[in-house]
Structure 1
Amino acid sequence: MKVYGLIGINLDHSFSPVYFENKFIKEKITNASYKLFPIHDIRDFKSLIQENQDLSGLNVTIPYKQQIIPYLDELDFHAKNIGAVNTIKFIKQNNSLKLKGFNTDYLGFIDSLLPILPRKRMNALILGTGGASRAVTYALKILDIGYKSVSRNPAGKNELSYNQLDKNVIENHQFIINTTPLGMHPGIEEYPLISYQYLTKNHLVYDLIYNPIETTFLRLAKEKGATIKNGIQMLEIQADYSWKIWNDL
């Protein structure tokens, strides 16, 4: 039996096990299972590997997408450039184990975005500067979409503070992406502090969060007529890419 799973914190409400269980049933895959592996310190990763010899692959979520990198033997080209990993492939050869990191988040983001991306030129605001934001930044560069990052502690000329998100900034950045965990279950009342009053029907607002399906961030944007998109499709697409990596498909 091949065992796959997810490492991170607060995993009880993750949709990943449901997605993979449904995939296994639909595709009649009988030699695989998908489990949750909550760890409260990245230093527990080594013992997790030792205690679960059947592991064949892992997904990585908040807050370990960057912290996991020193524990891996190799990164693929894209993960290295992004600086964050959400997929680990277990390569077992001659009684040795090599862990290789990949990033499929940027692929999930691009593939889920293209069907709703307007043809007109847009500039983006990326809320947050963590591991997930790195994949979004990478994707926007591929799509040739200009962007600025928004942080509580901005550093560098391409970063803004939340206090700087005035009418002019919101009007000139019609694509807004939340990569922070604000609003994620169980903290569903939380949301990024942006100037929602300046959103219009011309805005596209994307939340990487998928639980709840409609975050407060998306609800407030929808009330202003903006097009909204949650992270469930991105999750499914990146998970499918992970499966292909694990199984050399």
Structure 2
Amino acid sequence: MKIYGLIGYPLSHSFSKGFFAKKFEAENITDCLYDNFPIPAITEFPTLLHQQPHLNGLNVTIPYKEVIIPYLDGLNDAAARIGAVNCIRFEGGKKIGYNTDVIGFSNSIRPLILPHHTHALVLGTGGAAKAVMYALQEMNIAYTLVSRQATAEAIAYDALDQAVIEKHTVIINTTPLGMYPQVDAAPDIPYQYLTSRHLLYDLVYNPAVTLFLQRGVAQGAITKNGHDMLILQAEASWEIWNG
């Protein structure tokens, strides 16, 4: 039996286990198992490897996409440039990190990009944001990071005025704000300045329409959640593990 899984914490509402269970059933894959491995701290990763010596591949989610890197034996080029990992392949006794978030995000947002979508706001600065930034660079879309506090790399939410919102016609939420069960939360941006020229993309997929997206719809914006991104990144992980 080939064993795959997901590490992160918490994992009570993760997408991957259900996705792979359906995939294995639909494709009559009977020699593979995908399970959740919640670890409260990344320092428990070596213990997990000792307990699961037959792992063939892992996905990595919040909050470990960046701090997992020192525990790996190598990174592919994209993961090294992004600085975040969401997929681990076990090959020849070594643990190699990949980033399939960038594939999932790029391929899911690209059909929605219009000529005036030249500047983006990236809400959040974690591992998922790094994959989004990498993808935007590949699509030649300029971006500005937004964080709770201003830094050398990011502006603060309170700097988002009408001029900034009008210029940045793509707004991407990479934070967990609005994810079930905290469905009444949303990034603190001035939604009143959104228009039909805006594209709002939320990496959150549960609920399907977050408060962030609801407020975009109310202003006439194009909206998309992270469900397709998850499917695309999961399939990309499967190809990496079995390629």
Whether the TM-score (by the shorter chain) exceeds 0.5 is yes
> How many Å separate the matches in 2 of 1:8 and 1:189?
23
Alpha-carbon distance, 1:54 to partner: 2.0
Alpha-carbon distance, 1:245 to partner: 0.3
Query: Which is further off, 21-30 or 78-87?
Result: 21-30
Matches within 5 A, 1:55-94: 55-91=55-91, 93=92
Which of these residues, 171, 179, 182, is aligned with residue 184 of structure 1? 179
> How many Å separate the matches in 2 of 1:186 and 1:101?
30
Query: Is residue 83 of structure 2 the alignment partner of residue 104 of structure 1?
Result: no
Alpha-carbon distance, 1:37 to partner: 0.6
Alpha-carbon distance, 1:121 to partner: 4.3
TM-score (norm 2): 0.98
Query: Which is further off, 40-49 or 20-29?
Result: 20-29
Aligned-residue CA RMSD (Å):
0.9
Q: Secondary structure at the match of 2:187?
A: coil
> How many Å separate the matches in 1 of 2:61 and 2:132?
15
Question: Alignment identity in percent?
Answer: 52
Kindly provide the amino acid, as one letter, of the partner of residue 154 in structure 1: A
Runs of 4+ in structure 1 deviating by more than 3 angstroms, as ranges, are none
> How many Å separate the matches in 2 of 1:163 and 1:120?
25
Equivalent position of 1:170 in the other structure: 165
Which of these residues, 200, 205, 225, is aligned with residue 230 of structure 1? 225
Equivalent position of 2:121 in the other structure: 125
TM-score (norm 1): 0.96
> How many Å separate the matches in 1 of 2:87 and 2:117?
32
1:127-168 per-position Cα deviation (integer Å, ceiling 9, x unaligned): 000100000000000000011000112222x52110000000
> How many Å separate the matches in 2 of 1:82 and 1:13?
26
Kindly provide the amino acid, as one letter, of the partner of residue 163 in structure 2: N
Equivalent position of 1:141 in the other structure: 137
> How many Å separate the matches in 1 of 2:150 and 2:46?
33
> How many Å separate the matches in 2 of 1:141 and 1:116?
16
Equivalent position of 2:16 in the other structure: 16
> How many Å separate the matches in 1 of 2:64 and 2:215?
29
Kindly provide the amino acid, as one letter, of the partner of residue 95 in structure 2: L
Give ranges in structure 2 of 5+ residues lacking alignment. none
Query: Is residue 48 of structure 2 the alignment partner of residue 52 of structure 1?
Result: no
> How many Å separate the matches in 1 of 2:116 and 2:192?
23
> How many Å separate the matches in 2 of 1:191 and 1:160?
18
1:80-132 per-position Cα deviation (integer Å, ceiling 9, x unaligned): 000000000011x3xxx210000010110000011111133421000000100
> How many Å separate the matches in 2 of 1:43 and 1:154?
30
> How many Å separate the matches in 1 of 2:185 and 2:2?
38
> How many Å separate the matches in 2 of 1:197 and 1:100?
45
Q: Secondary structure at the match of 2:164?
A: helix
> How many Å separate the matches in 1 of 2:11 and 2:220?
32
Give ranges in structure 1 of 5+ residues lacking alignment. none
Q: Secondary structure at the match of 1:4?
A: strand
Tell me if the contact between 2:178 and 2:212 (Cα under 8 Å) persists in the aligned partners.
Answer: yes
TM-aligned CA distance change 1:232 to 1:226, over 3 Å: same
Tell me if the contact between 2:117 and 2:170 (Cα under 8 Å) persists in the aligned partners.
Answer: no
Kindly provide the amino acid, as one letter, of the partner of residue 147 in structure 1: Y
Equivalent position of 1:201 in the other structure: 196
Alpha-carbon distance, 1:22 to partner: 1.2
User: Matched residue pairs, number?
Assistant: 243
